[in-house]
Amino acid sequence: MSKQHITATVNGDPVEFLSEAGATLLDALRDELGLTGSKEGCGSGDCGACSVILDGRLVCSCLVLAAEAEGRRVETIEGMAEGGVLHPLQRKFIEHAALQCGFCTPGLLVAAKALLETNPDPSESETRYWLAGNLCRCTGYDKVIRAVMDAGAELRQARVA
Amino acid sequence: MSQLDFLAPTSAEEAARALAASGAEGRPLSGGTDLLVQLRSGRLKPGLIVDLKKIPGAIGIREEGGGFVIGAATPGAMLGEHPSLGRVWPGVVEAASLIGSTQIQGRASMAGNLCNASPAADSVPALIAARATCVIVGPSGRRTAPANEIAIGPGRTSLQPGEFVLEIHLPPRGRRAADAYLRSIPRTEMDIAVVGAGVSLALDADGVITEARVALGAVGPTVIVAEDAAAGLVGTRADDAAMASLDAAVRAVCRPITDKRGTADFRTKIAGVLARRVAGIAYARAKEQK
Amino acid sequence: MTDVLDRPETGLNLKVVGTRPDRPDGVDKVTGRATYGADFSMAGQLVGKILRSPHPHARILSIDTRKARALPGVKAIVTGADFPEQASQEMEGGEGAANIRDIAMNCLARDKVLYDGHALAAVAATSSSIADAALALIDIRYEVLPHVTEVEAAMAADAPILDESRFTTGLEAKPDKPSNIVSRMQLKRGDLAEGFAAADVIVEGRYTTPAVHQGYIEPHACVASWSADGQCQVWASSQGQFMIRTYCAKILGVEASDIRVTPAEIGGGFGGKTTVYLEPVALALSRQAGAPVKMVMTRDEVFRATGPTSGAVIEVKLGAKSDGTIVAADVVLKYQAGAFPGSPVAPGCMTALACYDVPNFLITGYDVVNNTPKVAAYRAPGAPISAFGVESAVDELAGKLGMDPIAFRLKNAVRDGVKAAYGPTYKNIGYVETLEAIADHPHYRVPLGPNQGRGLAVGFWFNVGGESTAAVNIVDDGSAVVISGNPDIGGSRASMAMMAAEVLGLPVERVRPIVADTASIGFSMLTGGSRTTFATGMAVTQAAQKVVEDLKRRAAEIWDVGIDQVEWANGSALCLDAARNKPDLTLAAIAAQSGKTGGPIGATVALNAQGAGPGFGAHLCDVEVDPETGRVTVLRYTAAQDVGRAIHPAYVEGQVQGGAAQGIGWALNEEYVFDAGGRMENAGFLDYRMPVASDLPMIDTVLVEVPNPRHPFGAKGVGEVPIVPPLAAVANAVSAAIGVRMHDLPLSPPRIRAAVDTL
Amino acid sequence: MPRVVAAGGECQRFTGGATTFDVEAATVRRLIDKLDARYPGLGEYIDKRMAISIDGEIHQDVGAVALTPTSEIYLIPRIGGG
């Protein structure tokens, strides 16, 4: 089975890895690059735990072939905090107790970041629909939605200031 | 273990040649949101995957002759972001944007939705109601086919070995014309349509329907074009009586199955309900399209 | 928004307990660094995969693994024959008593497969694709047998029998034929016939609930390593590392002390990770291969082969006087156990009438095996099912009597001093308070629009204590480490740190909580049954108290005063002998000279915590129904619960919200769907349909605090209760909205439309 | 003398149908031993399958708990949880 040599940018850094043709981007991130923050909850794009941003678009990395990442830009949960400083979303998730087991949290955070970059002032309903592809079984979503909207408010304020 | 190869050609012809050479083993890849699931579950064991996204024009929307040309691998999210597509073909855009989550929208394409040939595909009734056509590339060149001729049964298409859809064309719209799409699912998101209905209408200056097309999803092996139901709308103002006969005419053509997602009886009833509601939305929109 | 009602005077001047500090493991979990089951890897590890039965019921005639073994890269293949023969024996380990032979046969079938997805054989190979190819080369011959999935069909006299040696227990007369009915249990009080004879109004109904899955997002995963010297290591995501150790030791016939289990972070469990599926198999593969083996389930495997909870039939007959006094109740519960005995019908029976003071009742429960996956615990096991039937019937009865549903429940409510239907006399319960909290909540007065309905339901759970070990060690800089043996499934590290900080008088940030492996802390029962904050919290508190005693002794030694002259307050020793004029000694100051006062400072407490207080909740739900499409929208949801005392209120609210959301999913859309061939048709998140963010409103919580005097800070278990009321709360709301009593879950659009069409 | 009531479970399998027992015992352990002497097999059944409620508190696996002549004692099925 021939492996393909892939070069891509992950969290701003150039990476290279070998990939089987059927391997997914999620497989490559976890098994080749050791970035296990993206999780596999279903392998079918239904839970969102593997969410990453690919060339600026939110996607499920389990539904992207690793080979498709050639020459592209991937952002994962591992790149969200900058130099040890948590992103406001990460801080707000902790503050609002928006995680219990924490397994869906990386995917939710990546998806929420994509939301706030697209729509800095989402309504509760917009937030809920944007995050509908991220299953969380522990929280009932209440505190997750509050944390995302609160982070949005903080980011808007920071922009004004 | 079967060998799997991956190619990302930079021209449509190259892609067609590679697919043709692989015979039944080859699969084109655009968004991959169906293909990768089938790959992983073992339902599909292709020998070659041909990524179409590097072909010029495969991703993107251009206006042409008053209509729109949508590249095969254009993700759903891009349709919603386009400045004019949603104004002219709101039903097509809302149907495509119902496919899956935000994450799926970042990848899934209407061409993929069409060629996956699921009877429940959300964008297909809308495309068919809109009289969309497809540019198909194959080893013997290009041809054009209406969207309703692509799927011929659940999971089966009329595409020949080596052929793939490169573009979807939406025709120009006149004044006082609009479309709409609705589906019924148990949750608010993330479900496959239990029933879907797309309606496209054109009105005269007095608000009388002059042209109607009704397409129904998940109530037959392929999308059903409800000709009688559409004909019944023509000449009306989508009043209550017209809506009641639309409901009945739609139910009369449904041939659904009972499965884990819904019973045949339920699907038939809901098809009538949705057709009424979606015709109402399309009618209201058409009146606004001055 | 959350109101903390009724916070009683405690006499305790609490500084940490009751506040909302950041959780100690928060940063790891928001940065992707936390290591869950599938995130751990070992050098040289192999990939383990399982071959599963495509038949729901079949005799295994032969398993031929020769071709698979010959495939290059295949390092080990095991089947049920690789586990030692087990006698049928009940043993402690996970969730109460379990039969170790059944658990072993669920991990790898012997003789027969009993459900679609039943594990038959496992392969370890050098890559995932080689393992897949090897599975395809294993040749199995079956004698396919007739199967039965539905509970009443399994109880029928002519049903296909799963185990010919099983005779129903608990009947008056000894049966002469084998049966799928494992046992019958009954609870009774008074005279049922007299009770119904005295009733002015009687309601009667038959209700059904489907099998549903816990739906944790993390699939089961482990890495197992069996060394040549017989020492075993397991890294696994579960609700109890000691449970894994006990079961693996028994199933594989090795000493428990030779197995060291390290708990990974757990991505949800809700009861579903209280038993083993992969770990004994991975160890057996590792032994054969001589290399570590990693196994990770797919979502399809999680649905087809790990524990859902029972599908059930619930028959309820209630009688009341015209003044609203319930005088008689007859409840029959028929619960699926799946492939092996052990449905949660016993707690289903015991909780069925736990909220009501009823003089005459009979509750009958049947535990029934059938050809679906063996059920596992799911949050308040058994209780939501019986509560669905009883709370629906109570709603109907209140309606017939023309009484407000809260007033009706208050009239029949259990209170301190009332004997519970399951026997004992209640004390320190806060049930009435939860009903009053709902009555007082603005939600109860929001006007409803057309096609909208409001539903109320209540629920009960015992809560348990049990065995836990905890250690508190003081570091020489004056900080502390708390070590416990319970995986942190929803924020328990935070509550452990908070309780220790409260006793030690330290800021919570200076207390570092650790979840240790089985070799590094004493035995602890698993995280489940809402026991951790209560029982392990008690061990942590007592260990911290021991440390404080030791700190006082050392201060006395340093000051050369009697220990009775030392008081501990705010993290410092105070000298009560004013004449000595000693400045306070901080914990850090004492710790800095621990070597001179007797060595390291620390204490370990191992206990069997008793006196967990029962919990009650009352939930209020508003829905809107689209009568044409049958779709339900949940508009508003409010949950009130007696939590004893909330140690970390935000995580208590989270438990209540999460439980309510799971219950709403159970009510509206979730179900196991089997085809005529007994195969699960919806083994994926797409068609299993758990609630997504846009399906739910904010879930308002009211934490009622009636403290449990048996816990140092008054805590009661909180995790189970919130899943008990929602099934009926939603169903009562839908029934009110459409004007038809809904008896069958899920309340899916086809079902609701069909009900509307009967009007 | 403490009175013990078996509620639920299948203690009757061992007791010939009796569900109420008067047993002179100062601790839970002695109580179980005496019940087992009276109804062979019941002790093991209680140890493995039953919890004991004493004055409204549920106890599991606690032999040393003291009983008084007025203790309210129920044998109930063991309780786990999710």
Return the pLDDT at D55.
87
Residues whose CB is less than 8 angstroms from the CB of residue A85 and which lie 6 or more positions away in sequence, other chains included? none
- In this complex, the residue of B42, B187, B270 whose CB is nearest that of residue C695 is B187
Confidence of residue B2 (pLDDT cuts 50, 70, 90): low
Determine what percent of chain C is predicted with pLDDT higher than 90: 93
User: Which of A80, A95, A137, A143 has the highest number of chain C CBs within 10 A, making it the mutation to test binding with C?
Assistant: A137
What residues of D are in contact with residue C95 (Cβ under 8 Å)? Answer: 80-81
- The confidence band for C6, taking pLDDT boundaries of 50, 70 and 90, is very low
Query: In whole angstroms, how far apart are CA C128 and each of B16, B188, C67, C69, C214?
Result: 32, 36, 17, 15, 27
Are C128 and C47 a contacting pair, CB within 8 Å? yes
* Total beta-carbon pairs less than 8 A apart between chain A and chain B: 96
Overall average pLDDT of the B113-128 stretch: 97
What's residue D60's pLDDT?
81
Average of pLDDT values for B183-195? Answer: 97
**Contact call for C and B: 3+ CB–CB distances under 8 Å:** yes
Helix then strand then coil, % of chain A, to nearest 5: 45, 20, 40
Q: How far is A52 from chain B (nearest CA, A)?
A: 9
Helices and strands in chain D, H and E counts: 3, 5
pLDDT at C8 over 50: no
Q: With a cut of 70, say whether residue A124 has pLDDT above it.
A: yes
Burial code of C504-515, b = ≥16 C-beta within 10 A, e = fewer?
A: bbbebebbbbbb
Question: Does residue C673 contact residue B260 with C-beta atoms inside 8 Å?
Answer: yes
pLDDT over 60 at C11, yes or no: no
Which chains share 3+ C-beta pairs under 8 angstroms with D?
A: C
Q: Is B38 on the interface with C (CB under 8 A)?
A: no
Query: What does the pLDDT look like over C19-49, one tens digit per residue?
Result: 999 999 999 999 999 999 999 999 999 999 9
Average pLDDT on C445-454 reads 98
Cβ–Cβ gap D80/C274 under 8 Å? yes
What average pLDDT does the structure give for chain C?
95
Distance from CA of B271 to the nearest CA of C (A): 9
Tens of pLDDT along B32-90?
999 999 998 888 999 999 999 999 999 999 999 999 999 999 999 999 999 999 999 99
What integer pLDDT is reported at residue D58 of this predicted model?
A: 84
Residue C213: which pLDDT band, with cuts at 50, 70 and 90? very high
pLDDT score at D3: 87
Per residue in C348-404, pLDDT (tens digit) is 999 999 999 999 999 999 999 999 999 999 999 999 999 999 999 999 999 999 999
Residue C720 annotated among the catalytic residues of the structure: yes
A-chain residues near C265 (CB < 8 A): 101-103
Q: What pLDDT is stored for residue C613 in this prediction?
A: 87
Give the DSSP per-residue string, C510-579: GEEEEE--TTTS-----S-TT-IIIIIHHHHHHHHHHHHHHHHHHHHHHHTS-GGGEEEETTEEEE--GG
pLDDT band at C18 (very low <50, low <70, confident <90, very high): very high
pLDDT tens for C268-290 read 999 999 999 999 999 999 999 99
Size of interface B-C (CB pairs under 8 A): 57
Q: Using the beta-carbon criterion (under 8 Å), do C693 and A47 form an inter-chain contact? A: no
Q: D20-22 and B133-138: which strand pairing?
A: unpaired
A21 touches chain B (CB under 8 A): yes
Backbone angles phi, psi at C223, to 5 degrees: -125, 130
Tell me which chain B residues have a C-beta less than 8 angstroms from the C-beta of A134: 101
Pairing of strands C90-92, C201-209: unpaired
Question: Are residues C378 and C350 in contact, defined by beta-carbon separation less than 8 angstroms?
Answer: no
- Let me know the angle formed at the C-alpha of C494 by C490 and C497, rounded to the nearest 5 degrees: 145
Rounded percentage of chain C residues whose pLDDT exceeds 70: 98
Q: What are the pLDDT digits (tens) for C571-613?
A: 999 999 988 889 999 999 999 999 999 999 999 999 999 888 8
- pLDDT score of C96: 58
DSSP 3-state of D54: strand
Residue of chain A minimizing CA distance to B39 = A22
Interface check A46 vs B, CB under 8 A: yes
Pick B149 or C613 by higher pLDDT. B149
Identify the closest residue of chain C to A96 by CA–CA distance.
C650
**Any CB–CB contact under 8 A between A63 and chain B?**
yes
Cβ <8 Å between A131 and B188: no
Q: Give the DSSP H or E segment for C102.
A: helix C100-107
| Dist CA C89 CA D48 (whole Å) | 10
Nearest CA distance, C677 vs chain B (angstrom): 14
Q: B22: closest CA among B183, B139, B144? A: B139
Task: Say whether B184 and C631 touch across the interface (CB within 8 A).
Answer: yes
pLDDT band at C2 (very low <50, low <70, confident <90, very high): very low
Q: A-chain residues within 8 Å CB-CB of C219?
A: 40-41
Q: Is the confidence at residue C5, as pLDDT, over 70?
A: no
Read off the DSSP letter of residue A79. Answer: G
Model confidence over C641-661: pLDDT tens digits?
999 999 999 999 999 999 999
Q: Which of C90, C381, C710 sits opposite D81 (nearest CB)?
A: C381
> What mean pLDDT value characterizes chain B?
96
B23 pLDDT higher than 90: no
* Among C517, C477, C520, C461, residue whose Cα is nearest residue C721: C461
Number of H helices, E strands in chain B: 11, 14
pLDDT value of position C655: 97
At C3, the pLDDT band (50, 70, 90 cuts) reads very low
Of A105, A127, A139, the CB nearest to C658: A139
Beta-bridge mates of residue C606: C469
> Does position D1 have pLDDT exceeding 90, yes or no?
no
